[in-house]
Structure 1
Amino acid sequence: MHSSERIGKLYIVATPIGNLEDITFRALKVLKEVDLIACEDTRRTIKLLNYYKIPVKKLVPYHEHNERKVSKKLIKELLSGKDIALVSDAGTPCISDPGYRIVSLAREKKIDVIPIPGASAVIAALSASGFPTDRFLFVGFLPKKELQLKKTIKEISKLPYTVVAYESPHRLEKTLKILKEMIPEKKIGIYREITKLNEEFLEGNPGKLLNELTLEDKLKGEFVLLFYPSKEEKENENEKSLDEILLQLKEEGNSLKTTVKEACQRTGLPKNEVYKRALELFSRD
């Protein structure tokens, strides 16, 4: 891919999060053809390259401790015509992994940044959890400091959509104890070791999950936490949305019958529920 008469391209390459076979043909092609591979841990990347018999080229360590310094050097390489692949230890770079700085700089320099999509622990966990996926919020790793963690838990526990977070194995027990204290009845899912040999999905309230993980010595590996939407907040959101639709239809001069019919079509809510709410709003005049 190298040419001295062109600006190089930066490829953001997703790599397996566990099972080494979870990688695309396109990703392998890019890794074979680029001039440099910027990687979070050279040992992890060498293992992947060896598995697919890809010659180990010049690997450049690129991690949270050297990101600022190395980004500038890599930009110079790109401007000189070299193509670079950015990989993290597992999954998609920039998603709770290093990468933001070099991508930002590359965009500033008008360098092409090309995503090579693939494995992502967030999407994998969501897709197989059975939790609502029409809307979700990914918050990355939960805060380390207890005060900030409690503040975050309070915020996300009330949200009307699924919240996804990462947690490290050495902090999970403490986090579950705090969850048990703050939101003891909250439905939570824990996906551990996704795509690996001991892959497992656990579901229940914080107390149940804490007992299961500690008693069976499962506080090891990689964890994705999923918080089920708050039913109360979900209902409040639906009610607010319904009210807005009903008031809009009313202000447009529609009759009660037409308003109810149109609101049912837009929201998918039962006719008797919509009619009852519409009556309350129409009777205010």
Structure 2
Amino acid sequence: MKKTANLYLIPTTLGDTEPGHVVPATLVETVRSLRYFIVENVRTARRYLKKLDRDIDIDALEFMELNKHTDRKQLERFLHPVLNGNDTGIISEAGCPGVADPGADVVKLAHEKDIRVIPMVGPSSILLSLMASGMNGQNFAFVGYLPIPKGERQRAIKDLERRSATEHQTQIFIEAPYRNMKLLEDILQACHDQTRLCIAADITLESEYIKTQSVAQWKKGLPELHKRPAIFLLHKD
């Protein structure tokens, strides 16, 4: 009889920081016990595991790559090790697996197959930025990426501002690092002066920057965010 195996969701660092600063020792212990990993990128996953434990035998591990290019009809094969009695880990590119991450599809399938899913403790840019923003932490929405075309993006921003005001809800969103400054320009053009905006960049890194102020105040000067991982929070009272 095959033993019951688990699917572990293994958080990663949010940038080039020491894992010991943001993940607990229990996560490292779990990683040492695993042989199979579902990852977004094999190269970065191997490097991250080596940072967690430099004595780990990387060549003895088996990696299955899951990303936006993966055929969703092939998802079941990622769970074959678990179904055969082998504990398996999911590692995303940054932060927590399953949150704004293709790993969520495998987690959904794991529940359908009655596989135990175990989330491990680690950094989440969504929660860390919300904690530090001073905005409503009881009612919030993470909406991911906004549309790229300028007109569509400004309409989306105005819709989020309206929803924040009517529902007293913090709106959280992200952008590709090289488009951060363009997004900021659109926020300043689309939003009312009194709307509060939190900009959180390089969370958990030495260069961490987190600041909340009104759109009117932001118009006096913006931080340089080009190619810096950032997350944005909006709230209109």
Query: Could you say whether these structures have the same fold, taking a TM-score greater than 0.5 normalized by the shorter chain as the test?
Result: yes
Aligned partner of 1:99 in structure 2 is 103
1: CA distance, partners of 2:210 / 2:28: 30
Question: Does the CA contact (< 8 Å) of 1:188 and 1:204 recur in 2?
Answer: yes
Query: Structure 1-normalised TM-score?
Result: 0.71
Q: Indicate the residue corresponding to 1:197 in structure 2.
A: 206
| 1:222 alignment counterpart | 229
Select which of 182, 185, 189 maps to 1:177: 185
Partners in 2 of 1:146 and 1:82 — Cα distance? 48
- Contact residue 134 and residue 212 of structure 2 kept, 8 A: no
Q: CA deviation at 1:205?
A: 4.1
Alignment check: 8 A CA contact 2:180 2:227 kept: no
Percentage identity across paired residues of the two chains: 25
The TM-score with structure 2 as length reference comes to 0.85
Contact 2:133–2:211 at 8 Å: present in 1 too? no
Q: Could you tell me whether the CA contact under 8 Å between 1:177 and 1:210 is conserved in 2?
A: no
Aligned to 2:13: 16
Two-structure CA RMSD over aligned residues (Å): 2.2
For 1:192, the aligned partner's letter is A
User: Hey, which of these two has a bigger chunk of strand by percent?
Assistant: 2
Report 1 or 2 for greater relative contact order, CA contacts < 8 Å, sequence distance ≥ 6.
Answer: 2
Specify the alignment match of 2:155 in structure 1: 151
Aligned with residue 164 of structure 1, among 172, 184, 187: 172
Give the distance between the partners of 1:130 and 1:205, measured in 2 at CA. Answer: 12
Contact 1:32 1:55 survives alignment (8 Å): no
Deviation at residue 212 of structure 1 after TM alignment: 3.6
Partner SS state of residue 49, structure 1: helix
Give aligned pairs, total: 225
Q: C-alpha distance in 2, partners of 1:225/1:42? A: 29
1:188 match: secondary structure: strand
1:6 to 3, 7, 24: 3
CA shift at 1:128, angstroms?
A: 1.6
1:143 Cα deviation (Å)? 2.6
Provide the rounded CA distance (Å) in 2 between the counterparts of 1:211 and 1:222.
22
Give the secondary structure class of the aligned counterpart of 2:174: strand
- Deviation for aligned residue 1:85: 0.2
Moved over 6 A (4+): none
CA 1:135–1:197: 2 relative to 1, 3 Å: same
What is the DSSP-based 3-state SS (H/G/I as helix, E as strand, rest coil) of the residue aligned with 1:95? coil
Q: Distance in 2 between matches of 1:220 and 1:197?
A: 16
- The answer to which of 59-68 and 100-109 deviates more is 59-68
For residues 62 and 130 of structure 2, the distance between their equivalents in structure 1, rounded to whole angstroms, comes to 36
**Higher relative helix content:** 1
Moved more, 83-92 or 109-118: 109-118
Is the contact between residue 177 and residue 206 of structure 1 (CA under 8 Å) also seen in structure 2?
A: no
1:88 corresponds to which letter in structure 2? S
What amino acid maps onto 1:199 in structure 2?
A: E
- With over 3 angstroms needed to count, the CA separation of the structure-2 counterparts of 1:161 and 1:154, relative to structure 1, is same
SS at match of 2:23: coil
Distance 2:184 2:216 in 1: 7
Matching residue of 1:71: 75
CA distance in 1, matches of 2:25, 2:202: 24
Where in structure 2 are there 5+ consecutive unaligned residues? none
Aligned partner of residue 49 in structure 2, secondary structure: helix
**How many angstroms apart in 2 are the aligned matches of 1:210 and 1:92?**
33
